[in-house]
Each structure stands twice: as C-alpha cells, then as structure tokens.
Structure 1
C-alpha cells in the first residue's frame, strides 16, 4: 500500500462545495418548513443546488442570487436560459423543478419550471412553493 498522494490538476477545490451562502441556508429552511428532506448538490452552474424529498416525490431547486431585481418573467427566462435548459432534463412525473431567485430589495421570487416555459409561483400566500 502506497502512502503517496497526488493532486488532480483538473479537480475543483473542496472549499467551494463546503462554503454555503446565507440564501442557501434560507432555501433549505424553506424546503424543510414544507416538510421536505433536503440534500445539497455540488452547486455547479448551471443546474440543481438542492433536492427536496417528500414521500416518493422530488423537488429540484436551482438557487440564484442577483444584485438587482429579476424583472418580468420573459427576462428571467432569457437570463437563465442555460439553467432552464439543464433543469428541464430532470422533469418527470415524480420530479418537479423550481428556480428560486434572491435579489435586493425584492427578496425571493419563485418560478416553477415546465417543459415549455416557467411560471411564477407564490411563497407566502398559499400557492405552490
């Protein structure tokens, strides 16, 4: 057995995965409040950041942070076209997909992702979140 260690020059540093932002913590809390068990992905972009599990259903959530408000839904779809393309690969009868965007001063905006587009969903008024 060898005691040598080596570095993979193409490997990403571990600290990028270990670091969690405040908005990610908040998103995990929101999913847990909705009774999801939550696991975190490696956070690579584009793609899924959190996976919520409830019964035999899964909710994949892509979290994005902005300095400015996200704008109208058409602008959101255009801005996050790569994320949406990646996310749509996972849509199935047991997997729903969300795009959650946090910005100042608006806070959170939530979007359900469908094969043909996105729809804004509400978080505080009882609609699907």
Structure 2
C-alpha cells in the first residue's frame, strides 16, 4: 500500500489524504487517553444494510470475540458531527473518552463484557 500511496509532501487536506497520512504515521493514533481501551474498531455499513440490526450483530460478535480473548475494552474515533453514528454507539453502551486536542473527532469506548448497559432506546 505504501508504494501505491506514497507519503504526502505536506499536511493532509482531504479525507483520502488523511487515510494516507495515517497509514504512514499510525503512531498518531496511540493516544495516552486511550491506554485503558487497547482494542480499536471501525465499522461501516452500506446504506441498504443500515437500520436492520446488522450493525448491532457485528458489534456484538466483535465485542464477544474481544472479551473471549481477554481484551477488557475497546475504543473508536468518529467524526463528531455524525449524530446517527453517535446515537448507535450510545445505544450500545459506549461513552465519550476525553482526549485533548481531538479536532473534529470524538473518541468513544466501552468494556467488552457487555456490562455497559444499552440505553432504553435500544
């Protein structure tokens, strides 16, 4: 991938460039505030598959797999303005993790043992 997408000559200016920059500098995701949440996740569903329970099923399977392997907690980063995603994560029991200078990203986390109760709206 690094041969196909060489490092940028300056700061990233588009979402694609942000991903390229992250590929070349993954250490920027190692934030001290996330140390208690050693696993990271990212989930995207095509619009036709959203709001049908697939996301919840995938998340539960992932959380169970982490828990079965002894991983105590997981974190994710999301664009702060993505309110539908935030509502989804809130229903699954995620909470905000304060991170200094997080820019347009909100970090969320939760334990993997399903003791984080879902909200009543779930």
Task: Pick the TM interval, shorter chain.
Answer: 0.3 to 0.5
Q: Hey, which of these two has a bigger chunk of helix by percent?
A: 2
Higher relative contact order (CA 8 A, sep 6+): 2
TM-score (norm: length of structure 2):
0.35
TM-score (norm: length of structure 1):
0.33
Q: Hey, which of these two has a bigger chunk of strand by percent?
A: 1
Greater Cα radius of gyration, structure 1 or 2: 1
